[in-house]
Structure 1
Amino acid sequence: MDFDAVLIAPRRAASVAAGLWRDRTINDYFDASVARAPDGPALTSLQVESGAVRHFTWRQLDAMVARIAVGLRRLGVERNDVVSCQLPNGWEVTALYLACARIGAVLNPLMPIFRERELSFMLAHADSKVVVVPQRFRGFDHAGMLAGLRESLPALRHVVITGSDGPDGFEAMLCGPDRESDPDAAAILRRDRPGPDDVSQLIYTSGTTGEPKGVMHTANTLLSNILPYAERLGLGAGDVVLMASPMAHQTGFMYGLMMPVVLGAHAVLQDIWDPAQAARLIREAGVTFTMGSTPFLTDLARTVEELGQPVPSLRTFLCAGAPIPGALVERARTALGASIVSAWGMSENGAVTTTLPDDSEERASTTDGVPLPGVEVKVVDGQDASVPAGEVGRLLVRACSNFGGYLKRPHLNATDAEGWFDTGDLAWLDAQGYVRIAGRSKDVIIRGGENIPVVEIETLLYRHPAVAQVAIVAYPDERLGERACAVVVPRQGQGFDKSAMVDFLKAQKVALQYIPERLIVQDALPATPAGKIQKFRLREMLREQAAEGRLSN
C-alpha cells in the first residue's frame, strides 16, 4: 500500500522543534515498559459472556507479540500492508497492533457492529491483506459474513478467526507455540520497524460524503496527543486503566490500548459493556481511570448506587461523545467518588479539549474543556474571520495530533495551508477559552458515542419505491445523548411505516445501530426557497415533541 499522508511533511520541522513530535514509536515505549517491570501486570482481558479472563505480564505480552508478528510475516504480511481486525475489546487487539508495529504493518481496527455493507467498502478501500474476526460475537456469525465477502476482495489473502480451533484459527495461524524462537525471528522483529512518520493506524470515520473515510495516523500524530493527555490527567505507570469503549474507536484504541503501553500502566479490557462487571473489575483490579460516552457514566453511577458497593480506587472518569447533563455530573461524583472530566475529540485528532480534573462541576457539564498542549482552536464565521467569545461559528483545529490525511482522498482533508482543520462542527468559546460544541454543520448523529452516517442511510432510503423525500435528524435521548429519526414524505398513493423502513434497511445489510429508531411521515419537509431541506426545523420539532412527551414512534 502506498499511503498518501500528505499532511505530515509540511509540519514536521515545526512540530519537532517545538518538542511536540518526539520521533519515538510505540515500539520504543513497549520495549521500555517491558524492561522497566517485566513481571509486572500489563494486560487483563475479560470476556463478559463466558467469564473468561486472560492475564499478561509485560514479559508474557512481549513474547506473544513477537509470536504474532512472526505469524503475520509467515502469512505474507510485509511493511505497509494493512491488517484489519473486527474484534471486540480483548488482548488480541492489543497484541495484534503491537505485532504489526514490530514488522511495519498498519492496523485497521473495525467496529464489531459493521456488517457486509460497511466491511465490503472498508476492506476493499484499505486493500487489506489479512482480516481477523471472531467466530461469533453477541450471537452474530462474523466468520460466515467474511466467507461471503471474500470473492469481492481480491487483495484479501487470509481470514483469521478467533475462537476457532481449526486451521484458520487465531491460534493456528498467528500465535502457535514458539514462533518467536524461529531462526529468522530476530531479523523479522527488527528489520522493518516503522519510523515515527510512517502510517501505523488506519481508522474509518463516518462522514457526510455517503462513504466512510480512512483516517491515517502515524506514531508522531498519535503519541503527541497521548502524552499531554496523560500528563493533564496525572496518569502514570502506577495507574490501572479500564477500557470498555470499543477499541475500534480512537477512545478505546488510543487510551485503552496505546496509552497504557506508553505509560507502562496496567490495562483492563472489557468486551461487552456491563456496568456491574465494570464495577467489579474496578474494585478487583484497583482501576484508577476509565473513559467512555455519557451512557457508560450513567450506567456505572446508577449501578454503584444500587449495589451499594463503592469503587474507591477510581480517581477519574473522562466522559466524551456527548454533552454531560449537570445532574449526572453531580450524581456521578457522589456515587463514584471520582473526578468527572468532560472532553471532545475526533478520529482525526484524538482528544482535542478536556476540562481540568480540578474544574468545577459546572465546567464539566457546560463546556467541553480547553485545548490540550500542542492544540489550537478557533471559531470563525463564513468568511473565516474569528468571532467574539460566546458567538457560535465553525470550529477549526490546528494540532500536533492532526491526522496525515484521508486515504486515497486528499481532496477531502479539509486542512488549509496554515494547518487549520475544519472539524465540520459548530461551537463557541467563552472568555476563559473553554469550548462548547453547539451542533454540527455535517449531518452526523452521535448515538451513545457512535457516529451514524446519515447521508448513507438517507441514500439507501431514497431507493425504497415508496419514499419521495427523506431527512434523518437527531432527537434527544437521556441515556444515549441522541437517537436517529427518519422524517419521510411518501410517494403519492404509497404507504410507508416503521416496519417497512426497518425491513428494507436490514435487507441492505446496514448495521442495526444505524437504523433510525423513529419514523415520522409527513406531507412535506421544511425547505429553503432553493429547495434545500431545513433540518434544523425538524430537529426543533423533535425537541419540542420530546419536551412535551409526545414524540411518537
Structure 2
Amino acid sequence: MSFDLLPAARRDAMTAAGLWRDETLLDHFRRHVKAAPDKPALVASRAEAGDTVRLTYGGLDTLSDRLAVGLARHGVGEGDVVSFQLPNWWQFTVLHLACLKLGAISNPLMVIFRERELSFMLGLAETKVLVVPARFRNVDHAAIAAAVRGGLPRLAHVAVVDGTGPEAFDALLAIDITDAERAALARRRLAPDAVIQLLYTSGTTGEPKGVTHTSNTMLSNLVPFAQRLRLGRDDVIHMPSPMAHQLGFMYGLVLPLLLGATAVLQDIFVAETMAKQITQESATFTMGATPFLNDLADYCLATGTKTPSLRIFVSAGAPIPRPLVAKAREALGAAIISAWGMSENGAVTTARVEDPEEKVTGTDGCPLPGMEVRVVDLAGAVVPAGEEGMLQVRGCSNFVGYLKRPGLAHVEDGGWFDTGDIARMDADGYIRIAGRSKDIIIRGGENIPVVEVENILFKHPAVAAVAIVGYPDPRLGERACAFVMLRQGQSLSFEEMAAYLKAQKMAMQYIPERLQVVDTLPQTPSGKIQKFRLREMARDGQ
C-alpha cells in the first residue's frame, strides 16, 4: 500500500498542531456503545423490498463482531481489501465496522459499475472478499460478480445480500464466535495511520484512481466539520447520497458514528421518500448534490410538506444556483450551506451557518480548520483576490496516496495538492469554483471519466474522431454531449451510439445524453481539440 503522501514531516506537523489525534472511529464507537448501547444508531429502509431495519449501537457492535469473525474465517486480515458494491443498506455500515475491527481496508463501489469497471477496480485492489446484492434496480449483481470472478485470482469469496447457500451474506453472520476469536478481536488495535478506505475516483487518464485514507486523515476532517455546523450526538443525520461516494461515506456513515448520533439511510432517491424520512425520523441534517436539494424543495412546495426538524442542508458537488437557495429556504425552513471537496480530502470548504446570503450563493465556502487553500497561476505564484487560477489545497485531511500509483498525485513543494480545478478567492478567503482543468464532467455529483468513454466510442466502426464535453443542466449541473466525426459513407444515430456503449458493459450514467455529428472538430494549430469551443456549441445547442 502506497504512503507517498505520508512523510514523517507531515505526520509530525499534523500531530503537533493537534489536528491528528491518533484516534480511530472504533475508539469513538466503542465509547458510544458503552455509554448508550440502546440508543438508535441506524435506520435503513429498502425501497424495493419495502422493509426498514433499525439498529442500536449495541446491535451494530454485535453484528460487526460477528461479521469480522466471518470475514476472518475467509482469510481476511490486516491490510486486506474488502470490496462492497451495495446501496445505502445496513450491511454497508456493518461491513465498514467489521473491516476496522480486522484492520482490513473498506473499498466501497458504486452500484452503477458493471463488468468493465469492476474487473479493473477489483483487480487493482487485489480484493479478498466482494459483497454484492443479489439484485438491485432490476440488475442481477450476483451474476455480474460471477462473470468477473474468473479473472480475479486473489478473490477468495463472494457474499451476496439476499443470496442463498454458502455465498449468502447472512452466512457470514450466522456464526458462533469462539473464545479465541473474541480474544483476537479484543487484542487488535487499529493503527491511526493504517489505510482504512480505498475509494475509486474518475480522473483524466481513462483509468479510475484509488484514493487511500487513514483514520487520521478522515477524522481530522469530520471533527471540524461537525464543530462548524454545530452537529452533535442529539442530531439525526439523513443520507440520500450513495455511501459508495465519499460524500455519503464520510457524512452518512462515519460522521454519525463519530458523534454518537443516529443515521437515516435512503437507498433509492425519490424526493417524496426523502421528505417522509426526514419528517418521520425527525432528521436535523442532510447533505447531497444540487439535484437532491432541488427535487426535495420542489416536492415540499408542490405538496405543502413541511420539514420542521431539518436544521441544515449542505449542498456539495456543484455550485448552488442563487434561485435554488431562496426556493429551498422557503420550502424547507433550513439553513442551506454550500461546500466544496474531493474524494481525496473530503469537504475542504464550507459556508458557515451564520454567513450572509452572498457567501452561501456566491461562493463555495471557506476552508475548514486544518485545511488551507490557495489560487495560483501557471508559474505557481498566488494570484490577487478575485482573479482565477489553479486551486491548490493542503492540510490534515489530504489523502495519503493513490493505490499503486506513487507520484501520480500532483503535490507541490510545501505539500500543496493540485486539485485540477479552476477557482477564484475573495478577500475574505472564500473560494468559488469556476471550472476544471481536468477533463471530467460532473453529472449530478457523479464524475464521468470522459477519456475512457471517448476511447471506447472511438472504436465504433463508424467513428473517425470523437470528443465529449459537458453542457449546463439546471438539475444535474452538467450533462454530456458527444461530438463525432464519421468515416466516409457511415452514419450513427443516438440510439445506435447508446446501444454500442451499453454493449461494452459501460455504466448507464457514463453514456452521453446527446450526440452531435460534425464535419470537423475545432483544433489548435498543434492539432489539439479545442474543447472550450465544443462546450460553447453544446451550451448553445449548435
TM-score, normalised relative to structure 2: 0.98
Q: Report if the CA contact (8 A) 1:79-1:103 is conserved.
A: yes
1:4 counterpart (2, 19, 22)? 2
Q: Report if the CA contact (8 A) 2:85-2:108 is conserved.
A: yes
Supply the distance in 2 between the matched residues of 1:544 and 1:462 (Cα, whole angstroms): 25
Give deviations 1:152-173, integer Å, cap 9, x for gaps: 000001000001132211101x
Partner of 1:447: 443
1:534 counterpart (516, 521, 530)? 530
Partner of 1:298: 294
Is 1:71 the counterpart of 2:70 in the alignment? yes
Partner of 1:28: 27
How much is the aligned-residue C-alpha RMSD, in angstroms? 1.0
Partner of 1:319: 315
Bigger Cα displacement from structure 2, 126-135 vs 161-170: 161-170
Give deviations 1:119-151, integer Å, cap 9, x for gaps: 000000000000000000000000000111111
- Equivalent position SS for 1:76: coil
The correspondence of residues 201-240 of structure 1 with structure 2, limited to 5 A, is: 201-240=197-236
Is 1:497 the counterpart of 2:496 in the alignment? no
Partner of 2:133: 134
Partner of 2:106: 107
Query: By how many angstroms is 1:182 displaced?
Result: 1.9
Corresponding letter in the other structure for 1:165: T
Query: By how many angstroms is 1:109 displaced?
Result: 0.2
Percent identity of paired positions between Structure 1 and Structure 2? 60
Supply the distance in 1 between the matched residues of 2:120 and 2:258 (Cα, whole angstroms): 32
Q: Report if the CA contact (8 A) 2:196-2:214 is conserved.
A: yes
The correspondence of residues 219-368 of structure 1 with structure 2, limited to 5 A, is: 219-368=215-364
- Equivalent position SS for 1:542: helix
1:512 counterpart (508, 521, 539)? 508
Q: Report if the CA contact (8 A) 2:81-2:128 is conserved.
A: yes
**Stretches of structure 2 lacking an aligned partner (at least 5 in a row):** none
Query: By how many angstroms is 1:375 displaced?
Result: 0.6
Q: Report if the CA contact (8 A) 1:330-1:361 is conserved.
A: no
Bigger Cα displacement from structure 2, 183-192 vs 132-141: 183-192
Supply the distance in 1 between the matched residues of 2:13 and 2:219 (Cα, whole angstroms): 16
Query: By how many angstroms is 1:188 displaced?
Result: 2.8
Query: By how many angstroms is 1:9 displaced?
Result: 2.7
Supply the distance in 2 between the matched residues of 1:475 and 1:294 (Cα, whole angstroms): 16
Corresponding letter in the other structure for 2:271: P
Query: By how many angstroms is 1:93 displaced?
Result: 0.7
1:521 counterpart (511, 517, 531)? 517
Corresponding letter in the other structure for 1:27: L
Dislocated runs of 4+, deviation >3 Å: none
1:200 counterpart (192, 196, 205)? 196
Give deviations 1:362-408, integer Å, cap 9, x for gaps: 32221100011011011111111111111111100012100000010
Query: By how many angstroms is 1:309 displaced?
Result: 2.0
Supply the distance in 2 between the matched residues of 1:190 and 1:253 (Cα, whole angstroms): 26
Supply the distance in 1 between the matched residues of 2:184 and 2:503 (Cα, whole angstroms): 45
Corresponding letter in the other structure for 1:40: K
Q: Report if the CA contact (8 A) 1:326-1:361 is conserved.
A: no
**Stretches of structure 1 lacking an aligned partner (at least 5 in a row):** 546-550
Q: Across the two proteins, how many residue pairs are aligned to each other?
A: 541
Partner of 1:548: none
Q: Report if the CA contact (8 A) 2:44-2:90 is conserved.
A: yes
Corresponding letter in the other structure for 2:451: V
Give deviations 1:391-427, integer Å, cap 9, x for gaps: 1111000121000000100121111231100001100
- Equivalent position SS for 1:245: coil
Query: By how many angstroms is 1:26 displaced?
Result: 1.1
Q: Report if the CA contact (8 A) 2:364-2:430 is conserved.
A: yes
Supply the distance in 2 between the matched residues of 1:481 and 1:105 (Cα, whole angstroms): 36
- Equivalent position SS for 1:412: coil
Query: By how many angstroms is 1:284 displaced?
Result: 1.1
TM-score, normalised relative to structure 1: 0.97
Supply the distance in 2 between the matched residues of 1:101 and 1:12 (Cα, whole angstroms): 21
The correspondence of residues 387-466 of structure 1 with structure 2, limited to 5 A, is: 387-466=383-462
Corresponding letter in the other structure for 1:472: I
Corresponding letter in the other structure for 1:48: A
Partner of 1:369: 365
Q: Report if the CA contact (8 A) 2:4-2:407 is conserved.
A: no
- Equivalent position SS for 2:407: helix
Give deviations 1:431-454, integer Å, cap 9, x for gaps: 111100000000110000000000
